Amino acid sequence: MSVESKINIAVIGATGYTGLDLIYMLCKHPKVKIINLCATKNLGKKISFFDKRIKKKLPKITNLKKVKWFNVDLLFLSLPNGEAQKIVKTLYHFKHLKFIDLSADFRIENYIEYKKWYSISHNAKNLVSKSVYSIPEFTGKKIKKFRIIANPGCYPTSVQIVLLPLLKKSLINVKNIIIDSKSGYSGAGKNYKKKFTHKNFYESIYAYGIQKHRHMAELDQEFRKYSKKKVEYTFNPHLLPTFRGILSSIYLEVNKGISLKKIYLELKRSHLKNKFVSINKINTSMGNGNVLKTNKCEVSICQTRHNKKIVIFSAIDNLVKGASGQAIQNMNLLFNIKENVGLK
């Protein structure tokens, strides 16, 4: 950090949905100074051209090559998969420099698995072991041991906040978990119109990623760390005709002797000190309206009409807690700042 006790920040991939949300939130953070905004296009333009919410005077968009890296404390990378690893590899020799990657490049600890799921050969294999996958609620102070922080995916964030504590305590049947997640279309990025060409896009619900969605790689990896048994689950995401937000409906069977109240109490206990996770009263109906444009995760545990089967709802904003907000939360932990500073 600089002598002024502010973190000097650079952002690469400044003009995407997550990049713009990140910059908007960083502008309100009292402990940071944005000194570089980088992109491959629109060089010389003001960032406010792309997002009218950003009123603060900031550097114009520049080329990566013009950045004076010895002045930068932290680099946020908000890039397509496969791009961040190249940049981190090039810059890792600056020993003071830390990285928070919002793509999938450092999320998967096994680079062979990464290639399997993303069809990209990893260009920074030796750095994968020097990175940490970080949902702050579970990583905690361990994050300070690393310079490369892998920011988790949006769907896995909504799911793991609920499931990891229950898997750790062996409270649920791991053989038949169903995860039904619905997201606003911003989760598909600015090029969503090229990816999803079905009719009536803005008036319909669309299921995709059937059998093999890339976020399953993260879920598989993290479930193995918390469960003594192999977790067998079905995950299917859907796009909704709304811009932002995620609601995951997670269908579970509790283990013998475990009550709905026990599940509720365990989640309450696990997240007692977590400022951004709120657990509703049992059997509370909910949507994602309360969490939009916040870094919060709202959870509700409900009984189905079948005695041992329950459904847990988990709501986040895919662009905030599922991306940029969580990245700032990770930054706060990394630099010994209170976890909720600059976030709501």
Residue 12: strand, helix, or coil: strand
Ordered DSSP codes for 130-185: TEEE--HHHHGGGGGG-SEEEPPPHHHHHHHHHHHHHHHTT-B-TT-EEEEEEEEG
Contacts of 133 (CB under 8 A, 6+ apart): 106, 107, 109, 139, 150, 152, 218, 221, 222
The one-letter amino acid code at 311 reads V
pLDDT in tens, 217-235: 999 999 999 999 999 999 9
Q: How far apart are CA 46 and CA 48, in angstroms?
A: 5
| 27 catalytic per annotation | no
Catalytic residue, candidates 27, 38, 154, 302: 154
- pLDDT class for 3, splitting at 50, 70, 90? very low
- pLDDT class for 41, splitting at 50, 70, 90? confident
302 beta partners: 311
Q: How far apart are CA 84 and CA 18, in angstroms?
A: 14
Q: Does residue 1 register a pLDDT over 80?
A: no
pLDDT in tens, 124-158: 999 999 999 999 999 999 999 999 999 999 999 99
Mean pLDDT throughout 303-325?
96
Residue 176 CB: number of other CB atoms within 10 A?
Answer: 13
Domains detected in the chain? 7-152+322-334 (3.40.50.720), 155-318 (3.30.360.10)
pLDDT in tens, 189-215: 555 555 566 667 778 888 888 888 999
What is the sign, positive or negative, of the torsion defined by CA atoms of 7, 156, 205, 253? negative
What is the per-residue pLDDT for 204? 83
- pLDDT class for 2, splitting at 50, 70, 90? very low
Model pTM?
A: 0.93
Dihedral class, residue 30 (left if φ above 0, else alpha if ψ from -120 to 50, else beta): alpha
